Amino acid sequence: MIMDQSVIQLLSDRVLDLQESATIKMSQMARDLREQGHNVISLSLGEPDFDTPDHIKEAAKKALDDGYTKYTPVPGLMEFRQAISRKFKRENELDYAPSQIVVSNGAKQSIANLSLSLLNPGDEVIIFAPYWVSYFEIVRLAGGVPVILSAGIDQDFKVLPEQLKGAITDKTKLVLFSSPCNPSGSVYSKEELFALADELEAHEQIHVLSDEIYEHINFSGKHASIGAHPGIKDRVVTINGMSKGFSMTGWRLGYMGAPQWIADACAKIQGQFTSGATSFGQKAAAEALDGDLGPTKEMCAAFAKRRELVIDLLSEVPGVKCNKPQGAFYVFPDISAYFGKTINGFTIQNSDDFCTYLLQEAHVAVVAGSAFGADECFRLSYAASEAELRDAIGRIKKALTA
Ligand code: PMP
Ligand code: GLU
């Protein structure tokens, strides 16, 4: 559809200045191509390909039958917040009382609530790169100034304490990162997290947003939370959700544990935007947190197996440099060896060109590293069947060696 420019100008500066989510855009492009009759393999969206475990679905059905069909308190059903509080204590050594929990329509909304609650125009937010696409735009939408701290493949995509120290200014308000990381799959150990926290301890104006949504997809052993550091624990907002570990992306349930004053502010914002999250979903999610983690562990084991397969297959593609991620379900290979090259008459200057070429030539959708603040890479989600992964990487190899 061709847009009339005079109409476009009626849009707010806010939305005109906003970038579309690259992950969502790429998966839509794959869907469109498919609808045109092409055989497209989409490894673009970060979404587990498993169904929600049965016991969680059963709990939601029961909640519906029991009449959980009404508005819920804005920060969430008390029994879900109690289950989250217990989970934080039991699994993460974190002390957030139920009153310090805010349940939202996905962790994405939790991040938006926090940014809108905390940031004034000009406040600096240190974001570790590669970063998840939406961090950058949500921070900007809230008036914050993203300050990007980059870590490349040679440092396993992990930011070092001295880098963090060098980026702190009087205007720094927030530090934002995910572990396990989307897009790199890197996992920070407890020692690494605490070394970062040590750098923040003296700066009382700085808060941390620790996004732990991939907690359960961790191949390195125990998950660690920066909020357990005694020197900064009262300044850490821990975000998590049901989407990844329980394969509940469509249920739209995320949550945060936060200092009380931040939790109250986030509930105030949410009370004007969306109110409480889905009633029967929260009942089922409470059971999921308290219940059997067996299906979650099975999914994690399946991802671990696919990771081996993907790394193995990619090692046979020339010019693709891949590390061994310890979590999430992504690989983030460095493909800068292709920049400046022409293949099949198509010149590749950056990661966007690289991904456009793969979509057009191989009908494989992956996401350009530029969207994650690392133009030398691309992200491949291996939340897909082994057959699809073999087919897709075979096609990628063929297209690149043409
Ligand atoms: N954080 C990270 C790092 C993510 O990859 C995602 C992707 N879904 C989210 C937060 C948001 O998850 P949701 O809104 O589905 O809970
Ligand atoms: N977080 C997932 C991803 O990175 C889902 C899509 C999105 O919300 O951006 O692909």
E strand intervals along 311-402: 330-331, 341-343, 346-348, 364-365, 367-368, 378-381
pLDDT score at 317: 97
Collapsed DSSP state (helix, strand, coil) of residue 161: helix
Tell me the pLDDT tens digit for each residue of 335-355. 999 999 999 999 999 999 999
| CA distance linking residue 365 with residue 355, whole number of Å | 7
Tokens read off for 186: 């890197």
Which distant-in-sequence residues (6+ apart) come within 8 Å of 150 by Cβ? 129, 130, 373, 374
Contacts of 122 (CB under 8 A, 6+ apart): 143, 145, 171
Q: Which two tokens stand for residue 305?
A: 């197996």
- d(CA 230, CA 198) in angstroms, rounded, equals 10
CA 238 – ligand 1 centroid, Å: 13
Q: Copy the structure tokens of residue 138.
A: 């949500």
Round to whole Å and give the CA distance between 396 and 307.
17
Query: CB under 6 Å to ligand 1: residues?
Result: 46, 106-108, 132, 178, 182, 211, 213, 241, 243, 249, 254
Ligand 2, atom 1: closest residue by C-alpha? 46
C-alpha closest to that of 26 among 354, 388, 400, 324: 354
Strands of 378-381's sheet, edge to edge? 330-331, 378-381, 367-368
145: which 2 tokens?
A: 């100034």
Exposed (0-12), middle (13-18) or buried (19+): which is 28, by Cβ within 10 Å? middle
What does pLDDT average to over the chain?
Answer: 96
* pLDDT tens readout for residues 132-157: 999 999 999 999 999 999 999 999 99
DSSP secondary-structure letter at 42?
Answer: E
**Cα 155 off chain centre by:** 20
Q: What is the pLDDT of residue 53?
A: 97
pLDDT band at 402 (very low <50, low <70, confident <90, very high): confident
Query: What's the 252 CA to ligand 2 centre distance in angstroms?
Result: 12
Q: From the alpha carbon of 214, which atom of ligand 1 is closest?
A: 3
Right CATH for 5-51+295-400 from 3.90.1150.10, 3.30.43.10, 3.40.30.10, 3.90.420.10: 3.90.1150.10
The pLDDT-based confidence of 6 (bands split at 50, 70, 90) is confident
Closest CA to 47 of 232, 251, 219: 251
Token pair in block for residue 150: 């980059």
What is the average pLDDT across 230-234?
98
Phi, psi for residue 134 in degrees, rounded to 5 = -75, -20
- Taking phi over 0 as left and psi of -120 to 50 as alpha, with beta for the rest, 93 belongs to left
162-167 contacts, C-beta under 8 A, 24 or more apart: 164/126, 164/196, 164/199, 164/200, 165/199, 167/126
Report d(CA 216, CA 288) in Å as an integer: 13
Please give the pLDDT value at position 17.
93
> Is pLDDT at 2 greater than 60 in this prediction?
no
- pLDDT given for residue 155 in this prediction: 96
- How many Å lie between the centroid of ligand 2 and the Cα of residue 183? 10
Asked if pLDDT for residue 379 goes beyond 70, the answer is yes
Q: Indicate the pLDDT class of residue 3, thresholds 50, 70 and 90.
A: low
251 Cα–ligand 2 center, Å: 14
Q: Report the pLDDT averaged over residues 381-393.
A: 97
| Chain region(s) in the chain for CATH 3.90.1150.10 | 5-51+295-400
Residue range(s) occupied by CATH 3.40.640.10 in the chain: 54-290
Which ligand is located closest to the Cα atom of residue 46?
2
Report residue 323 as tokens. Answer: 């590390």
| pLDDT digit string, tens, across residues 15-71 | 999 988 888 888 888 999 999 999 999 999 899 999 999 999 999 999 999 999 999
Cα dist. 172→118, 135, 145 in Å? 12, 16, 9
- To the question of domain 54-290 being in CATH 3.40.50.300, the answer is no
- 231, 219 Cβ separation under 8 angstroms: no
To the question of pTM greater than 0.75 for the whole model, the response is yes
Output 9 or 103, whichever has higher pLDDT. Answer: 103
Pocket test residue of 132, 237, 247 for ligand 1, highest count of atoms within 8 A of CB: 132
Q: Is 5 exposed, middle or buried (0-12, 13-18, 19+ CB in 10 A)?
A: exposed
Please tell me the distance from the alpha carbon of residue 154 to that of residue 175, in angstroms, as a whole number.
22
